[in-house]
Amino acid sequence: MKNSKSAEITKKQKYLLSLQKELRSIQQEIRSLPLVPYPKPIFYSYAIKWTIRDLRLKRYSEVYEYILEKHGEFTRTKSIKKARELNPPKIMISNKDYIKLLDKYPMASRWFIKAKDKYNNKVHIFNKQDLLVKGIFKLFVTHSRSISPKLEKRKAEIKDIIYGNYKNAGLLNKYLGISRTWRDDLRYKFEAKYLDNIAKEGL
């Protein structure tokens, strides 16, 4: 039997695809578990996010607020000292989301500059820096899921095999036609979903 390099790659891809399928199944099972509220919220971390200075005095306050709420991201840290030193990420949106934004608020085109992300995709960066002020919040965990250690361990094992190895991740993404890695593509989605279950308290 001929053991060519291409045959080996195909075999590896099939193995990685089966692991990815198992991982998705585990993730779905975890998401289906009920959220149980804590008796009292538990401090999780500090979050740093851009806010708008003196919103009541701004002509387009509704639009600014929408942009920050929809597209602003948190930087998180456990240390208040670090929170005071760090700045939030730039408010950067994809070309697709930019078009949607202009459909809703056409005047917003004046507040963005064109740029490229690290994948060379077209993005738009909010450029009204004079309006932005850093806000520091406390994040509290209010709910949790009771996940079996066995399930959690298996999830970690699969993620380490697929995404802990750069070559494996690249091989799988190439086969699936994905240009971004799992970590980059799903990090914010995971955080955004997670933050839905966290109470935000301004400092």
For 6, 87, 94, 176, 188, the CA distances from 194, given in Å and listed in that order, are 40, 21, 22, 27, 10
Distance CA 74, CA 198 (A): 13
Query: Low-confidence residues of the chain, pLDDT below 70?
Result: 1-9, 55-58, 177-203
3-state secondary structure at position 78: coil
Domain that holds residue 172: 1-35+145-203
Distance CA 195, CA 186 (A): 14
For the chain, the residue count is 203
Q: Residue 166 domain-assigned? A: yes
Output the pLDDT for position 51: 87
Output the pLDDT for position 174: 73
Q: Residue 6 domain-assigned? A: yes
Q: Residue 7 domain-assigned? A: yes
Indicate the number of domains in the chain: 1
Q: Residue 102 domain-assigned? A: no
Q: Residue 161 domain-assigned? A: yes
Output the pLDDT for position 150: 93
* Residue linked to tokens 């891809």: 13
Output the pLDDT for position 196: 46
Q: Residue 172 domain-assigned? A: yes
Q: Residue 19 domain-assigned? A: yes
Distance CA 97, CA 103 (A): 10
Q: Residue 73 domain-assigned? A: no
Output the pLDDT for position 113: 94
Residue 84 CA from chain centroid, whole number: 22
